[in-house]
A and B are shown apart, each in its own frame.
Chain A
Amino acid sequence: MRHMQSHRLETNNGTSINRKKPVHFKFDRKEFTGFEGETLASALLAHGVHLVGRSFKYHRPRGIFGIGSEEPNALVRVIKGASAEPNLKATQIEIYDGLIAESQNRFPNLKFDILSINNLFSHFFPAGFYYKTFMWPSSFWMLYEKFIRRAAGLGKISKKHLEQNRYEHKYFHCELLIIGGGAAGLQAASIAAQTGVRVIIADEQHELGGWLLTDNNFNIDEKPALNWVRDTVEKLKSAPNVTCLNRTTVFANMDDNFTIMAERVTEHLSRPFAHLPKQRLWKIRATKIILATGAIERPLVFSGNDLPGIMLSSAIRSYIKRYDVLPGTRAIIFTNNDDAYFTALAIYEAGGFVRCIVDLRENPKSQIITTIRKLGINVKTGHAVIAAHGSRHISSVDIAAYDSEAQAPLSSISHMDCNLLAMSGGLNPVVHLHSQRKGKLIWDERTLCYRPDNRSDEWISVGSANGTFQLKKALNEATKKTTITISKLLKENKKSKIQKNNSVPNSEEKQQNWAPTPAWLIQSAQPHISNKTAFVDFQNDSTALDIKLAVREGFHSIEHVKRYTTTGMATDQGKTSNVNAIGILAGSLKKSIAQTGITTFRPPYTPTSLGVIAGRNIGNLFDPLRKTRIHSWHQSNGAKFEHVGQWARAWYYPQEGESFHQAVTREVYATRNYAGVLDASTLGKIEVKGPDSAEFLDRVYTNEFSNLAIGKAKYGLMLKEDGMVFDDGVTTRLAEDHFFMTTTTGGAAGVLGWLEELLQTEWRDLKVYLTSVTEQWSVASLSGPNSRAILEACLGKDNNIMHDFPFMTMKNSFINGIPARIFRISFTGEMAFEINVPARYGLALWSHLMQIGEEFKLTAYGTEAMHVLRAEKGFIIVGQETDGSVTPYDLGMNWIVSKKKSDFIGKRALERGSMDEPQRKQLVGLLTTDPQKVIPEGAHAVLNPNQEAPMEMLGHVSSSYYSPNLKHSIALALLKGGSNRKGQTVYIPMLDGQEPIEAKIVEPIFFDKKGDRLRG
């Protein structure tokens, strides 16, 4: 059953809707019909639906309150296919055929909500409730958290959201970015358009025009205001140097005019085009910015001001004028300024009954007030609405004469029934984007608002955003400031000059008085009761009482009060609440508002979807995946991969039915007894070239390289200036001035960066050039007793190099016609050769090796087997045995630290007195008493497992494996004073009640201690 559009006006005047195109949608499973061009909020109001949500803390019924992004209450969830997006503002969602929206924050339904019982116990939820209740005892947090998350949950996202939707990023430059497409923004853009500078004008709404779409009952430039808007927009859209963006929110204004905006590209369509994203993130660098972001009306703070049916006065006027929707038929207007009188007029003209205008001012006078009085509308000046009543909708108000300064009623209360209340507390310029740049704000005593200080000429505020509320003045200001800004721009660009006298459009709107009377809090004769339901921040449910309580408890700074009461910290960022909160705080502290200050606004201006921030950088595109040239072979041979940095490395190659453990054992066994081959292409490789290369390497390695003969290789250890191990690898001298350095797989980029830094900043006199060649070479590391025979067979007629090929040397040759650099170096402790070929021959080399190697029982092994093989030999892995706090001495590698060299990076740090501390953690081996028991890596060792917790830790286990060759569990550990503890027994206490593992401290080498196999 479709519902009646009971509140839609018969007159067809709405500036934003197309009556010829009805649109069908669902809200909370009920079917509704609206018109093309309107929002979910206006379409619901057209059906008399105000109640759209429950509040965050007390689950009070809440209705539509505003018209745009300031809306604190009407947050809904929109469902499209399998995706669902929560926390969207009904006031910003454009309806389309098939739209499905749901209310949030209610259980089980909107009208009957179980948690609204919180409302009855509201004294349990005062300011600081979360701090006070959950700070102690801290273990209770676990208990409370579930309840709070359930109770306070702000919507739910669907898990398939990112699969269903595409978001994209776009980078853009412009000379002038105009934010806001209202009167001031349009005027600025139309001036800029003529000058040829590149302009972007962006507006949050789906059409440009701003408040002129609502208030347009007058002429601009001798034509109806709305025509002026349409002509200007048309002119801008046809200008080649102007980019017009609607549905686009600029949410961040950052250093050097870097701005970010989110464009809602296809969200408003029932069938989005496949080639277009849901949203687009624009990252813009603008030379100058004009902020024409307008102003947002303030609510008034009185008891029951959160009832559905109580709305911002300007919002009500917009619903009438733009969408032909009269949100209520019996209206009361409550105001401290002239603007609400225009709302009264709009309601009157739409056929509604304005029961009364309640004006806080004693004796206001202006053109519009005279007009209203002439219509016979009841105006009560010097009065206030003390309280609003109703269960799920406003039904009546209490009115009394009121003393704004003393914040107290002066007369007894009279009751008046109504079904709509328009409130207007003055305007807040939208200063967020100004404030995000640390732009200062000035309190204006006349217009009662914070406005920008306009110190910068990088970003300039105009119109209502600058506190210039009168249209005539705003247009004048926009014209002048834009003209000045563009002449500066053109001067900087050395282009021709702009005409100095741009004419200001002549607007003929009704004059009004823009000086409201201060009214931050309306209290009843019993303020402690009325303040309890006088809401300041609707979304976070914080009240005037909360602010007063915070002051009583000693929170006097606005920054503290904000956090303690959570006022202004909801997703609407206090758009309607901040200044009222400051006013109430100032009153409590007996200070002026200027003295009380304001909090800083931070990006984003409006909630921004994480999807659009991530853009295309999700799933496989989140981070690049680096594959070696041999990857396809690993894949087709069933390899499991592990990630080392961005590299995918073959981890192990399980054969059918093999477990991880069985596969690794087989690979390790084969390598020690026959031969194994590892894809080592990922090792970092750096060419070091130039006359000072040898000197340079002497300075960055702990050992000496200048004495290395051509064709010889050496293992080197690099420290940082603090003496701690940074990286290691083998470096080979190719020529007098040419070295080939290898680094760890994960450290390659860091090492290159560090060496570059030293050359560019510390030793600019050294003639050395570094080039990363990691990806230029494919590397097969051939290892094991049969490796020599395999290599010989592979070399064929070129095998003469094998006659004299000692350990730690390099030869050039050809394998099956492929040019190769062959290094006789070993990381397994076996005779081994690292065969480097130009990268593109990697797969050819590998396949050839596997083919020739078959008769020698050659087995491909992965990184896990490599770890076991090197651990059996006690070879360290930087990053596993080291963590930035380990010196070469701690590793027992004193032999690698040159005593001859006068300087190298880290030398002085190693000479510090503290390095001799005997209790430093030192590398040891561990053999478990039970040979089958493998210690978990990262576990801590203690001397006495029966001591009280917290136990005295001796150190931690850095590597731990089962060694198939020793048929014993082995481990490496860093233990305090470890080198003097050989033979001692340690215990590794286990989690979850298991017995501690017992182990003996031994030398950190388990296999072939003399190294006979290595040298062969």
Chain B
Amino acid sequence: MLKIKCPYCGYRNESEFSCGGEAHIARPAVSNKITDSAFCEYLFMRENPKGVFLERWCHTSGCRRWFNIARDTVSHEIYEIYLMGNTPKTVKGKKAYQANWRRTSKAEAASKTPKRTKK
């Protein structure tokens, strides 16, 4: 069981957290039209790397806050924990962020949200 440092509460057992899967999946705004296949990449495709993985975690049985973790899926070593809205700062985290195919995906390009939804 991992020992995870919640940015708000400090070190806690893994059993207090839930893993929300891949981080940094930008949601395309509906008004920025993209093809079905580009949208489905956003909706369904998830990375499953051997090595450094950027994940979202939530301190479900604690403060209920979401944050990001850069974790090695082989050794389970946690390289970095950083807040929502930020990108990784460590060398390994940065590399994993840049290497992800999403950075050049159509869905991510279409993610700039228009301010309000009502027309």
Seen from chain A, the residues whose Cβ lies within 8 Å of a Cβ on chain B are: 254-256, 258, 285, 438, 695, 698-699, 704, 706, 721-722, 753, 756-757, 760-762, 764, 900-904, 907-909, 911-914
Cross-chain contact A761 with B56 (CB below 8 angstroms) = yes
B27 within 8 A of A: yes
Q: Contact check: which of B13, B36, B60, B118 meets A900 at CB < 8 Å?
A: B118
Q: Contact check: which of B60, B66, B119 meets A760 at CB < 8 Å?
A: B66
State how many residues of chain B have any CB contact under 8 Å with chain A: 30
Instruction: Name which residue of chain B comes closest to A723, CB basis.
Output: B43
The answer to whether A756 and B43 touch (CB under 8 A), given A900-B118, A901-B117, A903-B117, is no
Q: Contact check: which of B1, B64, B85, B117 meets A764 at CB < 8 Å?
A: B85
B20 within 8 A of A: yes
Docked complex Cα distance between A746 and B2 (Å)? 30
Q: Contact check: which of A256, A722, A911 meets B43 at CB < 8 Å?
A: A722
The answer to whether A902 and B30 touch (CB under 8 A), given A706-B118, A760-B65, A761-B66, is yes
Instruction: Name which residue of chain B comes closest to A905, CB basis.
Output: B27
Query: Sorted from nearest, which 6 A-B pairs have the closest CB atoms?
Result: A256-B3, A258-B1, A903-B30, A760-B66, A908-B30, A903-B117
Docked complex Cα distance between A285 and B29 (Å)? 45
Cross-chain contact B117 with A902 (CB below 8 angstroms) = yes
Q: Which residues of B contact A762 (CB under 8 A)?
A: 27
Instruction: Name which residue of chain A comes closest to B4, CB basis.
Output: A256
The answer to whether A912 and B84 touch (CB under 8 A), given A699-B117, A907-B30, is no
24 intermolecular pairs with C-beta atoms under 8 Å apart: A254-B1, A255-B1, A255-B2, A255-B76, A704-B118, A721-B27, A722-B43, A760-B65, A760-B66, A760-B84, A761-B20, A761-B84, A900-B119, A901-B118, A903-B117, A907-B30, A908-B28, A908-B30, A908-B39, A909-B39, A909-B43, A911-B30, A912-B36, A912-B39
Cross-chain contact B84 with A902 (CB below 8 angstroms) = no
Cross-chain contact B31 with A903 (CB below 8 angstroms) = yes
Docked complex Cα distance between A222 and B76 (Å)? 47
Q: Contact check: which of A285, A438, A756, A912 meets B64 at CB < 8 Å?
A: A756
Q: Which residues of A contact B56 (CB under 8 A)?
A: 761
The answer to whether A285 and B3 touch (CB under 8 A), given A762-B27, A907-B30, is yes
Docked complex Cα distance between A179 and B29 (Å)? 56
Q: Which residues of B contact A706 (CB under 8 A)?
A: 118
B114 within 8 A of A: yes
Q: Which residues of A contact B85 (CB under 8 A)?
A: 764
Docked complex Cα distance between A706 and B118 (Å)? 9
Docked complex Cα distance between A495 and B53 (Å)? 35
Instruction: Name which residue of chain B comes closest to A699, CB basis.
Output: B117
Docked complex Cα distance between A760 and B64 (Å)? 10
Q: Which residues of A contact B39 (CB under 8 A)?
A: 908-909, 912
Q: Add 11 more A-B contacts to A255-B14, A903-B31 (CB < 8 A).
A: A258-B1, A699-B117, A704-B118, A706-B118, A721-B43, A757-B58, A760-B65, A764-B85, A908-B39, A909-B39, A914-B36
Q: Which residues of A contact B64 (CB under 8 A)?
A: 756
A interface footprint on B25-52 (CB within 8 Å = 1, 0 otherwise)? 0011111000010011001000000000
For window 65-119 of chain B, which residues contact chain A by CB distance below 8 Å?
A: 65-66, 75-76, 84-85, 114, 116-119
Q: Contact check: which of B31, B66, B117 meets A757 at CB < 8 Å?
A: B66
Seen from chain B, the residues whose Cβ lies within 8 Å of a Cβ on chain A are: 1-3, 13-14, 20, 27-31, 36, 39-40, 43, 56, 58, 60, 64-66, 75-76, 84-85, 114, 116-119
The answer to whether A903 and B29 touch (CB under 8 A), given A256-B2, A695-B117, A909-B43, is yes
Docked complex Cα distance between A911 and B40 (Å)? 12
Docked complex Cα distance between A753 and B61 (Å)? 12
The answer to whether A904 and B66 touch (CB under 8 A), given A255-B76, A258-B3, is no
Q: Which residues of A contact B36 (CB under 8 A)?
A: 912-914
Docked complex Cα distance between A748 and B25 (Å)? 26
Q: Which residues of B contact A704 (CB under 8 A)?
A: 118
The answer to whether A904 and B117 touch (CB under 8 A), given A757-B20, A757-B66, A760-B65, is yes
Instruction: Name which residue of chain B comes closest to A757, CB basis.
Output: B66
Docked complex Cα distance between A98 and B14 (Å)? 44
Q: Which residues of A contact B27 (CB under 8 A)?
A: 721, 762
The answer to whether A902 and B31 touch (CB under 8 A), given A255-B76, A912-B36, is yes
Q: Contact check: which of B13, B43, B66 meets A258 at CB < 8 Å?
A: B13
Docked complex Cα distance between A764 and B117 (Å)? 15
Q: Which has the most chain B C-beta neighbours within 10 Å: A254, A698, A903, A911?
A: A903
Q: Which has the most chain B C-beta neighbours within 10 Å: A258, A722, A904, A913?
A: A258
Q: Which residues of A contact B31 (CB under 8 A)?
A: 902-903
Q: Contact check: which of B30, B58, B116 meets A695 at CB < 8 Å?
A: B116
Q: Which residues of A contact B119 (CB under 8 A)?
A: 900-902
Q: Which residues of B contact A764 (CB under 8 A)?
A: 84-85
Docked complex Cα distance between A706 and B2 (Å)? 44
Q: Which residues of A contact B40 (CB under 8 A)?
A: 912
Q: Which residues of A contact B28 (CB under 8 A)?
A: 908
Docked complex Cα distance between A256 and B75 (Å)? 11
Docked complex Cα distance between A722 and B117 (Å)? 19
Expressed in whole angstroms, the minimum distance between the Cβ of A159 and any Cβ of chain B is 31
Expressed in whole angstroms, the minimum distance between the Cβ of A757 and any Cβ of chain B is 6
Expressed in whole angstroms, the minimum distance between the Cβ of A110 and any Cβ of chain B is 43
Q: Which has the most chain A C-beta neighbours within 10 Å: B14, B29, B36?
A: B36
Instruction: Name which residue of chain B comes closest to A720, CB basis.
Output: B43
Cross-chain contact B118 with A902 (CB below 8 angstroms) = yes
Docked complex Cα distance between A911 and B117 (Å)? 17
Docked complex Cα distance between A756 and B3 (Å)? 24
Expressed in whole angstroms, the minimum distance between the Cβ of B71 and any Cβ of chain A is 11
Docked complex Cα distance between A1013 and B13 (Å)? 55
Docked complex Cα distance between A909 and B116 (Å)? 20
Docked complex Cα distance between A756 and B13 (Å)? 22
Docked complex Cα distance between A96 and B88 (Å)? 61
Docked complex Cα distance between A911 and B38 (Å)? 13
Q: Which has the most chain B C-beta neighbours within 10 Å: A285, A902, A912?
A: A902
Q: Which residues of B contact A901 (CB under 8 A)?
A: 117-119
Docked complex Cα distance between A902 and B114 (Å)? 9
Expressed in whole angstroms, the minimum distance between the Cβ of A364 and any Cβ of chain B is 44
Q: Which residues of B contact A904 (CB under 8 A)?
A: 117
Expressed in whole angstroms, the minimum distance between the Cβ of B86 and any Cβ of chain A is 11
Docked complex Cα distance between A753 and B114 (Å)? 25
Q: Which residues of B contact A913 (CB under 8 A)?
A: 36
Docked complex Cα distance between A465 and B1 (Å)? 24
Docked complex Cα distance between A757 and B39 (Å)? 21
Instruction: Name which residue of chain B comes closest to A912, CB basis.
Output: B36
Expressed in whole angstroms, the minimum distance between the Cβ of B29 and any Cβ of chain A is 6
Docked complex Cα distance between A706 and B75 (Å)? 49
Docked complex Cα distance between A438 and B114 (Å)? 49
Instruction: Name which residue of chain A comes closest to B110, CB basis.
Output: A908
Q: Which residues of B contact A753 (CB under 8 A)?
A: 58, 60
Q: Which residues of B contact A903 (CB under 8 A)?
A: 29-31, 114, 117
Instruction: Name which residue of chain A comes closest to B29, CB basis.
Output: A903
Q: Which residues of B contact A255 (CB under 8 A)?
A: 1-3, 14, 76
Q: Which residues of B contact A907 (CB under 8 A)?
A: 30
Docked complex Cα distance between A911 and B14 (Å)? 39
Q: Which residues of B contact A722 (CB under 8 A)?
A: 43
Docked complex Cα distance between A757 and B84 (Å)? 11
Instruction: Name which residue of chain A comes closest to B76, CB basis.
Output: A255
Q: Which residues of A contact B58 (CB under 8 A)?
A: 753, 757
Expressed in whole angstroms, the minimum distance between the Cβ of A433 and any Cβ of chain B is 15
